[in-house]
Amino acid sequence: MTQILLWLNGFLWFLFFYMVFFVVPSDAAQGVAQRIFYFHVPTAWVSFTAFTVSFIASIRYLKKRDLQLDKLAAAYAVTGWIFTTGVMITGPLWAKPIWGDFWNWSDQRLMSFFVLWLLFAAYGLLRFSMPDSEKRARFSAVLAILGFLNVPLVYAAIRIWNTPSHPAAVIAGKKGSGLKDPTMLWTFFIGVIAFHFLMWALARALKTYYIQKSTVEQQIWKNEFKGE
Amino acid sequence: MRKFITMVILFSIPLFAQDWQADLRKENPKLAKLLDQFMQADTAEAKQMLAKFTNDDLELIWSYYKASKPTKEQRYFWLIEEHEYRKADGIASERLKYAFWAVLLLMLLILVYTARIYKSQMALEKEIEQLKNK
């Protein structure tokens, strides 16, 4: 089953790249720079999904105190952070040719996303700096929950504050927003599915690694204890 | 008499303009209507309306407008077209450069992250092997 999903993911990526660079029409106002959109927005959506999984797993960890759930939450939070870093790279590179600047400090969508990136960067540092697994799991679960609370704010930022610089929402936005061309819409959704598959595969691999690593550490600890 | 001739020339300019628009109206009434709206709109609204014109629309308007002008003015159009072409070429290559870097860096980031997970997993499996052999 995993093998089939991986092949399907490969096919989706091929189709996605083909559509972005050979099929989809150029935007009338932004030209070729608008094609960054097909990478930028799905990457942001994927990070939101990853943080949502991490949020649910963290709540469940605090209830059940099962370290497997902590590993699941950590794998999705770290993978989500990698994708937010991707958004932080593609966003300014899209903004520069369109706005004339890499960043707009007064844009609420940008700033709320930056805060989200910082929160999950702190999550990674927290896990890296705490050797005690129980304490680390408890603290990082709380931080993942707090960090997730920023996700709805990022999502709603362009709807609440009516940011002039940031483009309008793709879905459920105001009048005149969204993708008009069906090819654009198809390409976008293929991108969203392809990025989700990729995120799932990476988070799954990382979770397996975390679980195996903790088993090995426990084994080493047991061996040392026996040796004494 | 001189004043009269000047007045005739001045008044004939909008008449010439009407001519090409009348031809356009015959060929594509929908586009002519859009062009009328564009001409009557205020500056901000007109700028927003630019995206409504398709490439074919712009080509049609431009060729009708050019054809209505005397041969001497055609040379000015050449200069304008050359200027616009160079400017658009510069903007397009600038945009392409940023699009290229955005996609490349994103893919590199994902690749490095995947390679890091793979490397850590390989190191861990080596460690497991060593533990089994002990």
Minimal CA separation from B93 to chain A, in Å: 9
Contact predicate A120/A21, CB 8 Å: no
Tell how far CA B39 is from the center of its chain: 20
Residue A17 lies in a domain: no
Cβ contact A39–B106 (<8 Å): yes
Asked if B98 and A33 touch (Cβ cutoff 8 Å), the reply is: yes
In tens, the pLDDT along B105-121 reads: 999 999 999 999 999 99
- Residue closest to B89 by CA, chosen among A31, A171, A127: A31
Each residue of A38-90: pLDDT tens digit? 999 999 999 999 999 999 999 999 999 999 999 999 999 999 999 999 999 99
Name which of B91, B103, B133 to mutate to probe chain A: the one with the most chain A Cβ atoms within 10 A of its Cβ: B103
- Specify if A21 maps to a domain: no
The 3-state secondary structure of B76-89, one letter per residue: HHHHHHHHHHHHHH
CB contact under 8 A, B95 and A90: no
Task: Indicate whether B21 pLDDT > 80.
Answer: no
Say if A66 falls within a structural domain: yes
B48 neighbourhood in chain A, CB within 8 Å:
none
Please give the ipTM for the structure prediction: 0.90
Domain-wise residue ranges, chain B: 1-69, 71-134
Give how many domains chain A has, as a whole number. 1
Domain that includes residue A206, residue range: 34-227
Instruction: Determine whether A59 is exposed, middle or buried from the number of CB atoms within 10 Å of its CB (0-12, 13-18, 19+).
Output: middle
Q: Would you call B98 and A82 a contact, using CB atoms and an 8 Å cutoff?
A: no
Residues B107-124 as b/e (b if ≥16 CB within 10 A, e otherwise) read eebbeebeeebeebbeeb
- Distance from C-alpha of A57 to C-alpha of B28, rounded to nearest angstrom: 61
In a domain, A18, yes or no: no
Distance between CA B103 and CA B3 in Å, rounded? 65
Which candidate, A114, A106, A108, A105, places its Cα nearest to that of A87? A114
